Amino acid sequence: MKREVVVIGLGLIGGSIALGIRKEHDVKMIGFDINEDQVRMAVSLGIIDEKAHSLKTAVATADLIVLAVPVAASEKLLTDMLSFTFKEGAIITDVGSTKQTICAKAKELQNKVSFVGGHPMAGSHKSGVSAAKVHLFENAFYVFTPDEVTSPQVMDTLKDWLKGTKATFLEMSPEKHDEITGAISHFPHIIAASLVHHVETEEDRNPTVTRLAAGGFRDITRIASSSPEMWRDILLQNQSSLLRLLDTWDLEMQKVRSLLESSDSEGIFSYFEQAKHFREKLPERKKGAIPAFYDLFVDVPDHPGAISDVTSILAQSDISLTNIRILETREDIMGVLRLSFRSEEDREQAKEQLGLHTFESYTL
Ligand SMILES: NC(=O)c1ccc[n+]([C@@H]2O[C@H](COP(=O)([O-])OP(=O)(O)OC[C@H]3O[C@@H](n4cnc5c(N)ncnc54)[C@H](O)[C@@H]3O)[C@@H](O)[C@H]2O)c1
Ligand SMILES: O=C(O)C(=O)C[C@]1(C(=O)O)C=C[C@@H](O)C=C1
């Protein structure tokens, strides 16, 4: 009999985790989602074998249960599970971007089943199972938040289940997790959304502002296209860290204001210089707060056929693209193509091949 895995929430992350598990384990993959379209899509993409008609029944025989729903829904599902029965030795884990509330709630299940909080720290602004990828977490950090009752055997079993994600596992307390992700993930999402609102306000004075909003603005606000439901829940569950970060952010902005008010040329230069140094010291190959995909930017002349020239070169070299996007940043002169690859190796190879055909390309 095959072992059974139940994934609750068949979206970007649930789908990618299911694919990662399937890569290394021959299991019966059962999916559950309140959105029937996502369930149908997950079946047709071969991500799950079948849908769970009743969550309670599916969970009762599962060896592994993965909660991959927005964090408030995870908290609610854990409450529902207080009346469920579980197979002996079963493990529940979640993938939520916050850990304290969920882990505290899961403690109530402690006498029935093992729970280990988890957070694969890579993703995308895209939602839904159609965006799921087996490589999504490759090289990313995957944080676990075991507690004092979690046995080493449970941790080993869970890591074995998830080894197909090719992520780097690490452990920390739920409190530390929320403090750190508050600073490097949750707060930046607030800033991205605020920047978009800021420009929207500016539109009243300057109606062309959105048409001209290009390069830098688009880069820094990509994550403002993420799921509002997911981010509402994250903010509410990491309220105290985020309120503290809003205070320190106010101080940061006051620092910039005073440099500008005093026309402190040297101070303004070193403000940017120090940020550049710190940014460049961040580990490049790891996923996480920094690019979730291996992107390459290619300058393309504005003439018909230029894009197909680029894709043909890649096809001839057997390099697969995971995404291609035209960035309208340099109207009428030169366009920029953003090509996304599955791995660093594919990106390097693409850069080399395009270079041989006089296409200039660069990474950010
Ligand atoms: N998107 C990211 O970049 C990212 C990265 C790491 C972790 N996470 C975390 O992963 C979780 C899922 O995020 P996602 O990006 O996959 O979202 P998603 O919107 O792609 O998928 C979530 C799915 O959960 C389903 N769902 C919602 N409530 C449910 C319920 N009560 N029962 C069953 N299904 C339910 C939705 O219908 C949807 O299909 C969130 O907790 C998020 O914090 C997200
Ligand atoms: O790349 C993105 O779009 C993301 O926002 C991914 C991101 C992040 O902030 O890095 C978002 C939330 C998750 O909990 C983990 C990863």
How confident is the model at residue 338, as a pLDDT?
Answer: 85
The fold for domain 3-173 equals: Rossmann fold (3.40.50)
Nearest CA to ligand 1 atom 2: 123
Ligand 2 site, residue 237, Cβ cutoff 6 A: no
> pLDDT: is 208 or 214 the higher one?
208
Rg over CA atoms, the chain: 23
Fold identical between 3-173 and 294-362?
no
| CATH (residue range 177-281) | 1.10.3660.10
Other beta carbons within 10 angstroms of residue 220's beta carbon come to 14
Ranking 184-188, 222-226, 249-253, 332-336 by mean pLDDT, the lowest is 332-336
Give the Å distance between the CA of 24 and the centre of ligand 2: 25
User: Reduced to 3 DSSP states, what percent helix, strand and coil does the chain have, rounded to the nearest 5?
Assistant: 50, 15, 30
Ligand 2 site, residue 289, Cβ cutoff 6 A: yes
| pLDDT tens figures, 292-340 | 467 888 888 777 788 889 999 999 999 988 888 876 544 444 577 889 8
Q: Which architecture does CATH list for 294-362?
A: 2-Layer Sandwich (3.30)
**Domain-wise residue ranges, the chain:** 3-173, 177-281, 294-362
Ligand 1 site, residue 31, Cβ cutoff 6 A: no
How confident is the model at residue 292, as a pLDDT?
Answer: 47
How far from each other are the two terminal CA atoms of the chain, in whole angstroms?
49
How confident is the model at residue 107, as a pLDDT?
Answer: 98
Contact (CB, 8 A) for 16 and 140: no
CA of 95, nearest ligand number? 1
Give the Å distance between the CA of 312 and the centre of ligand 2: 32
Contact (CB, 8 A) for 89 and 66: no
Ligand 2 site, residue 286, Cβ cutoff 6 A: no
Nearest CA to ligand 1 atom 4: 123
Q: Which atom of ligand 2 is nearest to the CA of 223?
A: 3
Q: pTM of the full predicted structure?
A: 0.83
CA of 292, nearest ligand number? 2
Ligand 2 site, residue 185, Cβ cutoff 6 A: yes
| pLDDT at 229 exceeding the cut of 80 | yes
Nearest Cα to 239, choosing from 195, 190, 196, 288?
190
Average pLDDT in the 153-160 region? 98
Nearest Cα to 64, choosing from 100, 14, 108, 105?
14
Average pLDDT in the 216-237 region? 94
